[in-house]
Chain A
C-alpha cells in the first residue's frame, strides 16, 4: 500500500503542495483531481522522487525517503508520452526490463504480452515517430507497466488527445489497470476521466487535498463551494434561496448542476443572455429574477433565443448538497 502523509513541496517561498495525506490500497486506483496549477502534478512527481519535499512517502510501511527515483519501482506515464526517440516501440517497452536485467526471452515475451494488452500487437518494430498520439500513449503505458511497477503514476495521461480518442482510451486504460491489477495514482483535471478510471478521487486545490472519496460520494456531496463549482455546478447558493420555487425552506448550501433548472412552466422568470449547443440539449445562461445569473437547459427543438423571456422549473435531481455531511466522512474512513 502506498501511504503519503504530511507531504509538502515548496518552490522558494511558494508552497506547491501543503501537508497532503492519502493512501492508495493495493490494486486500487486513486485519482488526484483538480484545476491546473493546484499542485497535483508536483505531488505526483514528489511521490515518484523527482521533487524534493518534506513529509513521508511510504510503501508497505517502509519510508522511501532516501530511495532515489530509479530504485522506487514506481512507473510513470507523462502527458505526452516521452518515448525514447532513438528506440523502436519494442525497445521502448523493453527499457525497464533491460534496466532490471530481465533475460532476453522473458523480456521479449513480456513486451509482446503488453503490446497485446494495450492493443498494439504487431507494432513492435515501428519507429515511435510514426505513431499517432493515441498509439504513443499506449506505448508509454505499456513501457511503464512492463517492469511490473509497485505503483503506476499517470500524469494527465489522456489530456493531449482529442475528445473521442480520450474517451475511448480512458475506457481502455481502466480495463488495462483492472486486468493488470495495478495500484495507480492518476493526475487529471477532468472529472469524467477521474470517475472513469479511479476507485477513489482526491480533490486538490491550492496545494491541499480538499476531499477524498469514491466518485459517487464526491459527485453527490462536494465538500465545499469551490469543489462543487469544479465538479460542474454553475451556481452554489444557500438552499433557502430555492424557496422562490415554492419548496419548503431548507438549510445549508446547495449546488445547481446545469440540469437543475429547465425551461418550462414554472414560477421563476428571466431573460436568456447566452446559449450553447450541447449534444442532446441546449445550455442557456439566464438572468433570473430573485436568483441572479443561473444555468438552465432546454430541449433542442424550440430552444429560446438570446433575449427571450423564459420561465424555469426546478429538477431536484440536479440539486447537490454542499458541505461535508458526517456520514460521508465516516463511510470514507470505513473504506480505508
Chain B
C-alpha cells in the first residue's frame, strides 16, 4: 500500500542534516582534530604525562563543579524570570533587559564582580557565570512556558494540589524539555567560560579552558594543551550524553496554547514567583546601571571619544565604526546560524518522528552542541593549521569571524527551536495533511507559525550572543573590522583616563545596540505571525 507517509522522509531529513553537519565538520571537527593531532606530533608521551598528572584531574573536577554550580544558580534565578516572561502581562521590557548581560565583555563584568567581591574566588566565578546565563534559562524556559496549557495546572489545583505542588507536579514536568536544553547550554557556556574565570580565579582557580589558554599562549606547551583539549572534549561529550539520556522521551507532545490565553495578572502565591522574578531582574540590572553611571564619570567625554579612535589613537577604528562592524558581523552570523539551525532542527524533528534509531538522532543533536563546549583557543589555532587547505585561504579572511560566531549561535537556535517543534502534536500536522497540505505546506502552515515565536526569539538571542562574542572574534578579527567587544577589551588594556571612559561609553553603546535590536524583534513578534 501507500509508501508515502506523513511529512518529510528520513532520507530528505538526512540530506537536511548534512548541511549543518558538513559545516561543523569543516569549521569545527577538522580544526580541533588537527590541533590535537599536532599535540601528539612528538609522540604520545607528552600527552600521556599530562593525563597522568593528578593536577589535570583536579582541573577537570573544578571545571565541572564550577560549571554545575553556575548552572544551578542560573536555573534557580532564571525560573522566576521565565515565569514573568511567560505568564505576567507587560514583560516585554524584562525580556529585553535580561538579554543585556550577554553582550557585556567578560573583562568588564569580571572587573565589576571583582569590585563587588574583592577576594574573587569560587563564589564570584559562579555568580558572574550565572549573571551572564540567567537570560538563557529565562528565555528558553519562558518561551515554552508561555504555551503550556494553564488548565492542566488548574486541574491539579482542583485535585487539591497547592500552587507549589501544582507547579512541581504539572508545570515543571511540562517545562522539562526547555529546562534541559537551557541547562545544557548554560553548562557548556560555564564550562568554557574564560575571561571571567581568568580574572576572578587568577592562577589559583583554574579551569580546563583557562589552562588550555595558558599552556598554549603563555607556555607554548602544545602537547599539554592538546591533552587538555582532548580531556575537555571528552568531558563535554560525556556531559552531553548524560544530558541526552536524561532528556530522552521527555520532549512529549504538549497541549500548546496561544500566549494571550495564558497571560494574566498573578494571583495569590504567584505574586511570590513574580516578586522573585523582579528581584532577579533588579540584581541583573544593578551592575548594568553601574556601568552606565561609570561611563558618565568624566561627563560625556567618553561618548564624545566614541567618534574617534581613543587616547592617542589606541584603536584603528572609531567606536562608531566598531559598532557598525559589530552589527554587520552579527547579522551575517545570525543569518547563517538560522539557516543551519533551522535545517538541523527540521532534520532532527523529522528523524525523531521516523523509525530511525533514537541513538542516531541523539548523536546528531549532541554533535551540534559540541562547539559550545570546546575552547575558542583550540578552534582558533585549529583554523590556522587547516583552513589554508581550502581554496581562498580563509585563515586571513574577514568571513571567518561570522563563520566562527555562527558555530556558537547555531546550537542556541537548535536548542530554542527543538523543544517547541517536538512539542507540536503530530496529529495537528496530520490534520493539516488530510486537509490537503503537502509536507512543505504543513511546515509552513503548522510548524512555522507555532514555532515562529521561538524562531524569532532564538534569532534575537543568537544575534545578541554574536554581538557579544569575544573569544573567537578577538582571535580572528582584523583590526580594521574590530567589533565593539574587541574594541572595549583593547581600551581597557590601555592606560589613560580617556581610554577608560571610552571603554565604558562603548559598553553602554553596545548595550544600547542590543536593546534596540531586541526591541525591534519584540515588535516583529507582535505584528507578524507571532500572535502565538
Contact = CB atoms under 8 A, between A and B. Distances in A.
Interface of A: 7, 46, 48-57, 64-76, 78, 82, 84-86, 95-96, 99-100, 127, 129-130, 143-144, 147, 149, 153
Interface in B2-31: 2-6
A56 B1 contact: yes
A52 B435 contact: no
5 contacts: A70-B434, A71-B438, A75-B434, A85-B257, A99-B435
Interface in B405-435: 425, 427-428, 430-435
B437 A70 contact: yes
A82 B449 CA distance: 15
Nearest to B260: A127
A53 B436 contact: no
B152 interface: no
A99 B4 contact: no
Interface of B: 1-6, 256-258, 260-261, 425, 427-428, 430-439, 441-442, 445-446, 449-450, 529, 531-532
Contact of B258 (A73, A129, A149): A129
B150 to A, nearest CB: 10
A76 B1 contact: no
Contacts of A71: 436, 438
Contacts of A56: 1
A76 to B, nearest CB: 4
Contacts of B257: 85, 129
Nearest to B435: A96
Nearest to A4: B1
A67 B3 CA distance: 9
Given A66-B3, A99-B435, A147-B436, A84 B428 contact: yes
B434 A86 contact: no
Contact of A85 (B4, B256, B529): B256
A56 B2 CA distance: 9
Most central of A7, A71, A86, A129 by chain B CB within 10 Å: A86
A73 B433 CA distance: 10
Contacts of B258: 85-86, 127, 129
Most central of A48, A55, A74 by chain B CB within 10 Å: A48
A50 B3 contact: no
A78 B431 contact: yes
A72 B445 CA distance: 19
A127 B261 contact: yes
Nearest to B424: A85
B260 to A, nearest CB: 7
Nearest to A79: B427
A48 B532 CA distance: 29
Nearest to B442: A70
B441 A99 contact: yes
A143 B1 contact: no
A129 B261 contact: yes
B479 to A, nearest CB: 48
B11 to A, nearest CB: 15
A143 B5 contact: no
A84 B446 contact: yes
Nearest to A77: B431
A141 B239 CA distance: 48
Contacts of B5: 49-52, 68
Contact of A95 (B261, B435, B438, B531): B435
B444 to A, nearest CB: 11
A52 B531 contact: no
Given A52-B1, A84-B446, 10 more contacts: A46-B1, A49-B5, A50-B434, A66-B3, A70-B435, A75-B435, A76-B430, A78-B427, A99-B432, A100-B436
B436 A7 contact: no
Contacts of B446: 84
Contacts of A50: 5-6, 430, 433-434
A85 B258 CA distance: 6
A86 B4 contact: no
Contact of A70 (B438, B450, B532): B438
Contacts of A52: 1-3, 5
Nearest to A75: B434
A53 B258 CA distance: 36
A95 B445 contact: yes
A49 B7 CA distance: 11
A64 B2 contact: yes
A99 B437 contact: yes
Contacts of A147: 435-436
B261 to A, nearest CB: 4
Given A64-B2, A65-B1, A86-B449, A76 B532 contact: no
A45 to B, nearest CB: 8
A68 B450 CA distance: 24
Nearest to A153: B434
Q: Which 4 A-B residue pairings sit nearest by Cβ, starting from the closest? A: A99-B436, A96-B435, A68-B4, A76-B434
